[in-house]
Structure 1
Amino acid sequence: MTIRDNRLPVDDIDIRRLAAPRGDAIPNNDLYPAIILPSVLGGKNEPATIHALYARNGWGGAWTWQVFDYHHFHPDAFEALAVASGGATLMLGGPQGEEIEVASGDVLILPPGYGHKQIRKSDEFRICGA
């Protein structure tokens, strides 16, 4: 397996921060926003390449699938998500949150308690999480 070195100068990275208010069923996170890095990995990536990137950066338990189609959150863990292929519409921040479009090469980092849900996806959509 060949792993590309896709490091970019920080000035060349579009970093989006998305804070969401506490909801009735979804706590979100008062200290940390969700971080969205559009196209930071370039285009389509093989899941094995993303899993190796996670491992090199100390993120264990990598998986490839999609996002659940119901609002959920992880109470005590940050979650890294990298879109390997295709695209999807996600709701971040629970029912009171914001819809975002994600596509191949996008990376998201969700803090503990931050709600997320898949609304729709392309047939090719695959996301790698850790």
Structure 2
Amino acid sequence: MSVVSEDHQPLTFDFVDDGLVPNSKMPFLVYKRAIDVDNDHPEKTIEGLFGANGWGAMWRNGVYDYLHYHATVHEVLGVARGNAIVRFGGDNGTELAIAAGDVAILPAGTGHQCLSSSADFSVVGAYPPGPPAEITRATPENHAKALKTIPNVKLPKADPVMGTNGPLVKLWKRG
């Protein structure tokens, strides 16, 4: 499986708590063209990489078209096919074009919503070891609960793309 070179750095984005979406003090990370998915089984290619780096609870689908976040786990999204415009960080966040081979790594609390996608858009999502993911809608009540759970989400031992010495491990710190 072909992955970006060791010196490839992800794009980083910092999102603030907007009162409905808590986001995170840790940066949201995006690797552009991180994985060579030009093969007959791009989903399996991404699953193999994520699994090898300890992000094992996986699913295949797209990204929901409504604003949501996960307050109990971190999440990685690997684009296997197609492309989409996804807004990360909540209603005041950043609209980002993602395409096959890109990987987005969301610290717990990061809002995300698919605004548009190609008909063949396919994503592999995964989570590091920990509690199961819960889909959380952006409401005042959920926000209050999330502020209590997010600080307790364990830091992953490895970057889902680059492994134990990857940028995530260096960039995500409790503070």
* TM-score scaled by length of structure 2: 0.67
Aligned counterpart in structure 1 of residue 50 of structure 2, from 48, 54, 69:
54
> Which structure 1 segments of 5+ residues have no match?
none
C-alpha distance in structure 1 between counterparts of 2:69 and 2:15, whole Å: 13
Match of 2:81 in 1: 85
Letter of the aligned partner of 2:5 in structure 1? Answer: L
Aligned residues: 124
Q: Percent identity?
A: 33
Alignment root-mean-square deviation, CA: 1.3
Q: For residues 22-71 of structure 1, give each alpha carbon's deviation from its aligned partner in whole angstroms, at most 9, with x where no partner exists.
A: 11210000x20100110011344611121111111101111110001011
> Which structure 2 segments of 5+ residues have no match?
127-175
Match of 1:9 in 2: 6
Pair 1:113–1:9, CA change in 2 (3 A): same
* TM-score scaled by length of structure 1: 0.89
What is the SS of the residue equivalent to 1:101? Answer: strand
C-alpha distance in structure 2 between counterparts of 1:38 and 1:7, whole Å: 9
Offset of 1:74 from its aligned partner?
A: 0.5
C-alpha distance in structure 2 between counterparts of 1:69 and 1:7, whole Å: 29
Runs (4 or more) in structure 1 with deviation over 2 Å come to: 42-45
Aligned counterpart in structure 2 of residue 41 of structure 1, from 35, 43, 62:
35
Match of 1:126 in 2: 122
